[in-house]
Structure 1
């Protein structure tokens, strides 16, 4: 299961991502926001991260205007490895090398077509489990 959240800047893209996940048969938990009304992104980053750290969801997707604020907020949470991705190569590399568990997207900088391809790449790419990547992740967690 995937936790998904956004602020007002990512509201429309979040809804498109949710529909895309449903079309793939992937369940998700929508933690909000639920309108275009101005809100504070750290609340939704925290809610998505809690779904992961509590074991309710395996992965998360966070969307704001640029993706930057969400990635900063998410990476404050122990056990979260959030990556802001604006292309498919980055989404693949962060899953293979960093075993990222949260994908951050910028709705104002990445169009919906590309965003959905990035989501698919992130979800479909496995962690390599290579010893050097495991070692590096362990150093991040320490």
Structure 2
């Protein structure tokens, strides 16, 4: 199966890694749906996990990656 669309999300400490990953995936020709966050204010990681799961369940994306401050 060739993946064409990927959703990514993180907590507030994973933003830099999330941005780098999004850039790499786009350079490889994938559509990337960045679900946030986009600033370093403290957030509840599970809110972004829910958003990512929703996008996968609706078929908007085939895969998802969640990133936290300690890694993937």
Q: Choose from 27, 39, 43 the match for 1:23.
A: 27
The C-alpha deviation readout for 1:14-56, integer Å capped at 9, x for no partner, is 0000100111011111110011111110010000110001111
Where structure 2 has 5 or more consecutive residues not aligned to the other structure, the ranges are: none
Once residues 66 and 46 of structure 1 are traced to their aligned partners in structure 2, the CA distance between those partners, rounded to angstroms, is 19
The Cα RMSD (Å) is 0.9
> TM-score under structure 2 normalisation?
0.89
Where structure 1 has 5 or more consecutive residues not aligned to the other structure, the ranges are: 68-104, 106-142
Alignment size in residue pairs: 68
The correspondence of residues 1-142 of structure 1 with structure 2, limited to 5 A, is 1-66=5-70, 105=72
Q: Residue 71 of structure 1 corresponds to which residue in structure 2? A: none
The structure carrying a bigger strand percent of its residues is: 2
Superposed displacement of residue 8, structure 1: 0.5
Answer with 1 or 2: which has the greater Rg: 1
Superposed displacement of residue 9, structure 1: 1.1
Once residues 3 and 12 of structure 1 are traced to their aligned partners in structure 2, the CA distance between those partners, rounded to angstroms, is 16
> TM-score under structure 1 normalisation?
0.46
The structure carrying a bigger helix percent of its residues is: 1
Once residues 33 and 8 of structure 1 are traced to their aligned partners in structure 2, the CA distance between those partners, rounded to angstroms, is 7
Once residues 34 and 27 of structure 2 are traced to their aligned partners in structure 1, the CA distance between those partners, rounded to angstroms, is 16
Higher relative contact order (CA 8 A, sep 6+): 2
Superposed displacement of residue 66, structure 1: 2.7
